[in-house]
Structure 1
Amino acid sequence: STAVALVKTGKGYFQARRHLKRIKPALVLGTGGYVCGPVVLAAAKLGIPTLLHEQNAYPGLTNRLLARVADRICVTFPQSASLFPAGREIVTTGLPIRSQIMNTTREEGLAGLGLKEGFRILIVGGSQGARSINRAMLAVYKEMKDRTDLHWLHITGPAGYEEYLADLAREGIDLSDYGNIRIMPYVHQMEQALSVADLVIGRAGASFLAEIMAKGLPSLLIPYPFAAENHQEYNAKALVDSGAAMMIKEQDLSGVTLVNRIKELVDHREHLEAMGKEARALGNPKAVDLIVEQIMSLVSNR
């Protein structure tokens, strides 16, 4: 209940205040979520420099509330700035990504995954897969399997993998006849999958988008509709508005819709190239360095 939440928040505030007075940090960095609320608030009240980082295009409730007391706010998407209280110091830094994402070459990815060179579409629904995307892709393979100019790398998620192979067989698609289609349950080195992709189809979580933007990859995004405050749709819209992606909402997703969108993209490679350039312009592979700069700036001015 609201009353219980308020009691827990108050208790958390005094616990955080006690710990902060003991350890005397040079700065407190908050990344959203109810756990960081009492800590950042206590730090601000104690005069400890505070920095927020918002990874999503639509700021979470905790960060929106803490913005009134934080010294500085770093955002992934420039569109987020207008959603914070006026007069706050906001810096667009991007979202940190692993160095391997940028350092893995296409040749290394092809070798690591055992793939041949070719225009490749990467389909991924997150670590657990996405049943709706998998289901719609059945129609895509049925319609487009004979296009030898297209290669597919589809990560189904471990839970749905065996079932998906059975679904393909029921549709009359024998993967041994189609070397251009690779279905995998999971990829441990996502940097390899991204390095071989020319078009990405997937959800719109902030970390995933940060990676494809940094790589300059055009994308067809299908936001997860049950994400908190529908933040994935806002993330996807940030890319769509910049010309870096196309979006299909979950309620509009079907095999026919997906086939049409994919054809629209792969048959107009110049459009894909332009989308990739816009994605790269939005991305920032040096995000961690920019955030560290903001931290050092606040600490040195203390």
Structure 2
Amino acid sequence: MRIVVSGGGTGGHIYPALAMIRELEGRIPCEVLYIGTENGLEADIVRRAGIPFESIEISGIRRSLSFENVKTGIRFVKSVLRVRKLLKAFRPDVVVGTGGFVCGPVLYTAAKMGYPTLVHEQNSLPGITNKFLARYVDRVALSFKGSGHHFGKNEGKTVLIGNPRGSEVAELEIDPVQEKAKYGFSEDRPLIVVYGGSRGASPINDAVIEMIPLLKELDVSLLFVTGQVHFDDVERTLKDLPERFQLRPFVYDLPKILKASDLVISRSGASTLAELTTLGLPSILIPSPYVTENHQEVNASSLVEAGASILVREKELTGKSLFDATARALSDKEAMSRAALSLGLPDAASRLVDELLKISRNASKH
């Protein structure tokens, strides 16, 4: 099977694509071509994964009137022409997009050329690109139950599959005791993991710093992932921490320590929520208020309503409010864990591959 994959800009678009590719490669022989941009994270991440990569030049649409949108339109037309050449040369059986503006010209061109196409939407609230593409593609794969209505008259194309990132985490095999020991944590203390995304988040860091004197009164361990750019300042501020409280600028194998943890404090990006629900992890979610249409809070709502998470909005975030939420979550962690597991779709990667095979076979019949 020959498959073209496109998705980029952030890890939230790229890692689900890689999880899907690994699932597909594990099931049938296939050739993969990934189309992204040179200035997105995909240029590095995909090449490091050893996947053939081609790039196009494209940018996102500004929501306000701007001359940049004229430039974007010109880039879109040029990208369509380049994608057409790439698709003619590669001759894919199916074309998949996992989000980001790079998917626009790739999936649009593929659909117009008659190739079977699918887009995967990670968030509860779809982005501009995927809403645009829903008119042309064969299938729209959803991560959250009940989000299909956002696609309007194209809701009939939607299918709930979850987020493939969760599948990768579910398949990790670790010894929780050994994983905790890598950081010097005791196996019998509850472990709290705090992280604010790959770059960290100052408001979360500040609240955790304020919370730590209160947290010392609880018999817990803490892994505080600050983000690389914030680490030195946080380390200078927090001196003489007990050994059960550890600071890290970044953790490359974060899913492993998540699998050994008892509570997570984080943003509510789509990939993070896929990991939390797959692992059945109680969480305190602090949605980023700086994202389009506040979609992180929309993402978080399904977990909060199910009782799997406690929501703390950034405008309400203090050391005291975070500590109160932490104490509550620790006391309710068994019930919150069950609620999180009830929302998880650990077979999301398999479901997504099933849909790809289905639309590919349907196309071959015609």
Question: Is the structural similarity TM-score above 0.5?
Answer: yes
Question: Does 1:90 pair with 2:158?
Answer: yes
CA distance in 2, matches of 1:226, 1:112: 35
CA distance in 1, matches of 2:181, 2:319: 31
Question: Does 1:64 pair with 2:131?
Answer: yes
Report matched runs for 1:80-159 at 5 Å. 80-86=147-153, 87-97=155-165, 99=168, 102-117=172-187, 118-148=189-219, 150-159=220-229
Question: Does 1:250 pair with 2:314?
Answer: yes
Question: Does 1:74 pair with 2:147?
Answer: no
Which whole-Å deviations, capped at 9, do the CAs of 1:263-282 have from their partners, x for residues lacking one? Answer: 2222x3xx322221121122
Letter in 2 for 1:23: F
CA distance in 2, matches of 1:47, 1:238: 36
Per the TM alignment, residue 180 of structure 1 is displaced from its structure 2 partner at its CA by: 2.7
Kept in 1: contact 2:207–2:322 (CA 8 A):
yes
CA distance in 2, matches of 1:72, 1:106: 39
Per the TM alignment, residue 100 of structure 1 is displaced from its structure 2 partner at its CA by: 5.3
Per the TM alignment, residue 77 of structure 1 is displaced from its structure 2 partner at its CA by: 0.8
Superposition CA RMSD, Å? 1.8
Question: Does 1:229 pair with 2:284?
Answer: no
Map of 1:180 onto structure 2? 244
Per the TM alignment, residue 202 of structure 1 is displaced from its structure 2 partner at its CA by: 0.7
Moved more, 42-51 or 257-266: 257-266
Q: Identity over the aligned pairs, expressed in percent? A: 37
Which whole-Å deviations, capped at 9, do the CAs of 1:238-274 have from their partners, x for residues lacking one? Answer: 32123221111111111121122122222x3xx3222
Map of 1:3 onto structure 2? 70
Which whole-Å deviations, capped at 9, do the CAs of 1:96-125 have from their partners, x for residues lacking one? Answer: 126355322312312333321111111111
TM-score, normalization: structure 2?
0.75
Map of 1:33 onto structure 2? 100
Question: Does 1:284 pair with 2:354?
Answer: no
Partner SS state of residue 79, structure 1:
coil
Which whole-Å deviations, capped at 9, do the CAs of 1:56-98 have from their partners, x for residues lacking one? Answer: 1111110011111111111111132121123422111111126
Moved more, 217-226 or 17-26: 17-26
Kept in 2: contact 1:108–1:192 (CA 8 A):
no
CA distance in 2, matches of 1:14, 1:245: 46
Kept in 2: contact 1:67–1:85 (CA 8 A):
no
Moved more, 227-236 or 100-109: 100-109
Letter in 2 for 1:25: P
Which whole-Å deviations, capped at 9, do the CAs of 1:112-169 have from their partners, x for residues lacking one? Answer: 3332111111111122222111111122111231222x22121112222232122123
Kept in 1: contact 2:184–2:244 (CA 8 A):
no
CA distance in 2, matches of 1:279, 1:100: 15
Moved more, 12-21 or 36-45: 12-21
Map of 1:195 onto structure 2? 259
Map of 2:359 onto structure 1? 298
Structure 2 unaligned regions, length at least 5: 1-66
Kept in 1: contact 2:87–2:110 (CA 8 A):
yes
CA distance in 2, matches of 1:3, 1:128: 31
Kept in 2: contact 1:219–1:246 (CA 8 A):
yes
What is the count of residue pairs matched by the alignment? 292
Letter in 2 for 1:278: A
Kept in 1: contact 2:283–2:329 (CA 8 A):
no
Aligned partner (choices 45, 58, 78) of residue 112 of structure 2: 45
Per the TM alignment, residue 51 of structure 1 is displaced from its structure 2 partner at its CA by: 0.5
CA distance in 2, matches of 1:36, 1:210: 22
Kept in 2: contact 1:79–1:238 (CA 8 A):
no
Partner SS state of residue 19, structure 1:
helix
TM-score, normalization: structure 1?
0.90
Residue 192 and residue 20 in structure 1: after superposition, are their counterparts in 2 closer, same or farther (change >3 A)?
closer
